[in-house]
Structure 1
Amino acid sequence: MKLSKIKEILPALDNVEFQLENGTFVPEHFHVTEVGVITKHFIDCGGIIRNEKTVNFQLWNANDLEHRLKPTKLLNIIKLSQEKLGIEDAEIEVEYQSDTIGKYDLDFNGNHFVLKNKQTACLASDACGIPAEKQKVKLSELNSACCTPNSGCC
């Protein structure tokens, strides 16, 4: 989700709620301790130099059980960060503590924000020699009508 999208969604919400893909909710007393931009300048295994920018939100739980972040407060934090840091409209990455700091993509399901699991990937798969994974098919599930005698398929 891009920063412009969350800014569009927040005014219509009564509460800001985050949920992990496994259904677990981030405790409602979370804090947004950082809003910033992360720039990643790197070279992939195919020798291509790349630049990526993401907007970073860091969620944190404290013993402040009475804390509730309202949509207008988060919107004000986002606007201030854009003004002071010059943050552009980019994809949002959320940091949230699990066994270690987890990084998540952000989505919205109509009721609350969903922290989507991220996966690593090779950005230069055509250059590093890893063959594309072939789809596994059960022969018993194939439509055998296409290869009947006199069907012209063979």
Structure 2
Amino acid sequence: MTLSEIKSALTQVEEVKFTLPNGKQVPPHFHVTEVGNIQKHFIDCGGTIRKESVINFQLFTATDYDHRLSAEKLRSIIELSEEKLELEDLEIEVEYQDETIGKYGLEFQNGLFLLTITQTDCLAKDKCGIPQQKPKIRLSTLHAQENGCTPGSGCC
């Protein structure tokens, strides 16, 4: 989800609800404590220099149980961030403290903001020896095709 997509989604709800990948709700008294532009400049294991940029939201829950962040207020926080930080319309990454700080993607479905699982990956599989995934085939059909064998023919 990009910055423009979350702003659009916020016009469709009054209450902002985030759901973790395990189905657990982020407590309703959460705060958005940071909105930022995270830039990553790195070299992959194949020697290619890369740059990535994302918009980062940090969610935090405290003991102020009556706190509620309205959709309108979150939209105004985003708009202020766009103005002051000159943010581009980039993908959003969400940080949330559970057992450890987790990084999540973001989707919007049925009035809920869903924190989605993110994964690491090798960006240079061809250069660092990671084999590409082989296609899955049925061995019974492969054997019959290669040898022209049929069950009961005695060729096996």
Q: TM-score, normalised by structure 1?
A: 0.88
Partner of 2:53: 53
Partner of 1:75: 75
Q: Secondary structure at the match of 1:42?
A: strand
The question of whether the paired residues in 1 share the 8 Å contact of 2:32 and 2:59 is answered with: yes
Please tell me the residue identity of whatever aligns with 1:95: E
Q: Distance in 1 between matches of 2:100 and 2:138?
A: 39
The question of whether the paired residues in 1 share the 8 Å contact of 2:21 and 2:114 is answered with: yes
Offset at 1:48? 0.8
Partner of 2:114: 114
The structure with the larger Rg is 2
RMSD: 2.1
Offset at 1:59? 0.2
Q: TM-score, normalised by structure 2?
A: 0.87
Q: Report runs of 4+ in structure 1 exceeding 6 Å deviation.
A: 146-149
Please tell me the residue identity of whatever aligns with 1:56: N
Offset at 1:126? 1.4
Q: Secondary structure at the match of 2:127?
A: coil
Partner of 1:25: 25
Q: Distance in 1 between matches of 2:93 and 2:59?
A: 11
Q: Distance in 1 between matches of 2:104 and 2:69?
A: 20
Offset at 1:139? 4.4
Gaps of 5+ in 2: 151-156
Offset at 1:21? 1.3
Gaps of 5+ in 1: 150-154
Q: How does 1:1-150 map to 2 (within 5 A)?
A: 1-137=1-137, 139=139
Q: Secondary structure at the match of 1:79?
A: helix
Q: Secondary structure at the match of 2:82?
A: helix
Please tell me the residue identity of whatever aligns with 2:113: F
Offset at 1:133? 2.5
Q: Distance in 2 between matches of 1:95 and 1:14?
A: 22
The question of whether the paired residues in 1 share the 8 Å contact of 2:12 and 2:111 is answered with: no
Offset at 1:129? 1.2
